[in-house]
Amino acid sequence: MKNRLLVFTDWYEPAIKAGGPVRSLVNFANNLRDDYDLWIYTGDRDLGDQHPYISFPLDQWIEKADGTHVYYASQSNSGFRDIKKQVEYVKPYWIYLNSMFSLQFSIYPVLLRRFGKIRSRIVIAPRGMLKESALRYKSRKKKFFLWLYRKLGLNKYLIFQATDSVEQEDIKKQFGYDSNVVLIPNFPGIQKDFVPIPSKESGVAHLIFVGRIHPVKNLLFLLEALKHVRTHVTLTIVAAIEDFDYWQACKAAIQSLPNHISLNILEQVPHGQLEKILLDNHLFVLPTEGENFGHAIFEALAAGRPVLISDQTPWKNLSSSTAGWDLPLGDPKSFSGKIDLVGSMSAFELNEWCRGAYEFCTDYIRNLNLKEDYKKLFH
């Protein structure tokens, strides 16, 4: 009989705007549903939406075609008692928390364990939320939650999942070096066949930015870099607006871009359509202030498109594999130079970088043995 695993997450499919944490969990479910009896308790709407989903019944368990059970909880039925009721109904051996700073989907389940209301073992995945760059935003709320974890000793009831050595260190800094931390990377998505760029004009570069409109994703930095580019650039921005003040600053920067820079802004794109948009471009650009995994970066590499990113992600030494560049954020002009380099390339030259990106991703997937690692965790 399979062990029952109950996942708590603010957002799950069909959510789009929440980005990486949703992709992490979808890949998690796709890889583990054959080995575990998987139940997912989630919110009733996407990030920032005013209205719930209309395609699912709320406040009841739905069995999906793949055998997983999903519960879309309405805002009026996701309090402490509601969550206690659902945990008692599911009776999980394991609970998996997909965030650090959610009252309903992180704190409440841990409080149930802390006060002896449930006996399930709990694994929590911080999803990069303990990075210094992430803690700077909404810092009062996050400081309060961190204080609560420590004050009530909640961390003593948790197994932390770090997805890289940097996150492992972030966890230990916050909760002590005796914390129970396991290092297991995220499940990646599925890589399809390589698709080269069929043609390309010299002096032209098609760029794509995928990420939330939020200071951490650093779109303003990219817009500043574009002011110094000589290449004729078309930038496609695929991004949900999370921080409206930041978006106003971005729009002001867009107005001051030179005439040879054009933009195509797509606020919402279903995940299934993203690969085609990636393939229509020459270079993925994300000067992020910090990523736990960077699913959008991985998906660009998997699609065979080189990436221009900051050095604040797990994806390192890209240029040595002809897969792209990971640069420090000290100077936007360093990004400008790489964009001009891509603009100067012929289709043949750029396809060498596309093939390098694809093979970099292939090698990453080949070297993983993640399913066995997760089975050891949820034994």
Per-residue confidence (pLDDT) for residue 238, from 0 to 100 = 94
Per-residue confidence (pLDDT) for residue 81, from 0 to 100 = 95
Q: For residue 361, give the amino acid letter.
A: C
Per-residue confidence (pLDDT) for residue 16, from 0 to 100 = 84
Indicate the pLDDT class of residue 359, thresholds 50, 70 and 90.
very high
Indicate the pLDDT class of residue 356, thresholds 50, 70 and 90.
very high
> Tens digit of pLDDT for each residue in 63-107?
998 899 999 999 999 999 999 999 999 999 999 999 999 999 999
Strand ranges across the sheet with 307-310: 261-266, 232-238, 204-210, 283-286, 307-310, 324-327
Cα–Cα distance between 223 and 207 in angstroms, integer?
Answer: 12
Calculate the average pLDDT of the chain. 93
Say which DSSP state 90 is in. H
Two tokens, residue 379: 């034994």
- The partner residues of 182 in beta bridges, in order of sequence, read 161
Cis peptide preceding 14, ω within 30 of 0: yes
Domains of the chain: 4-187 (3.40.50.2000), 204-365 (3.40.50.2000)
Cα–Cα distance between 115 and 92 in angstroms, integer?
Answer: 17
Max Cα distance, the chain (Å): 66
Q: Would you say residue 236 has pLDDT above 90?
A: yes
Place of tokens 């700073």: 101
Two tokens, residue 293: 């995994």
Indicate the pLDDT class of residue 198, thresholds 50, 70 and 90.
confident
Per-residue confidence (pLDDT) for residue 189, from 0 to 100 = 79
> Tens digit of pLDDT for each residue in 320-332?
999 999 999 998 9
Measured from the Cβ of residue 116, the count of other Cβ atoms closer than 10 Å reads 7
> Tens digit of pLDDT for each residue in 9-58?
999 999 888 888 888 899 899 999 999 999 999 999 998 899 999 988 99
Q: Would you say residue 171 has pLDDT above 80?
A: yes
Indicate the pLDDT class of residue 268, thresholds 50, 70 and 90.
confident
Indicate the pLDDT class of residue 346, thresholds 50, 70 and 90.
very high
Q: Cβ(106)–Cβ(17) under 8 Å?
A: no
Q: Would you say residue 233 has pLDDT above 90?
A: yes
> Tens digit of pLDDT for each residue in 110-167?
999 999 999 999 999 998 889 888 898 888 999 999 999 999 999 999 999 999 888 9
> How far, in Å, are 40, 49, 51, 242, 289 from residue 55 at the CA level?
17, 15, 12, 23, 35
Indicate the pLDDT class of residue 206, thresholds 50, 70 and 90.
very high
Instruction: Give percent of the chain with pLDDT exceeding 70.
Output: 100
> Tens digit of pLDDT for each residue in 245-267?
999 999 999 999 999 999 999 97
pTM of the full predicted structure? Answer: 0.79
Per-residue confidence (pLDDT) for residue 105, from 0 to 100 = 96
Cα–Cα distance between 268 and 50 in angstroms, integer?
Answer: 15
> Tens digit of pLDDT for each residue in 279-325?
999 999 999 999 988 989 999 999 999 999 999 999 999 999 999 99
Half-sphere exposure of 19 (CA within 13 A, CB side): 26
Per-residue confidence (pLDDT) for residue 150, from 0 to 100 = 92
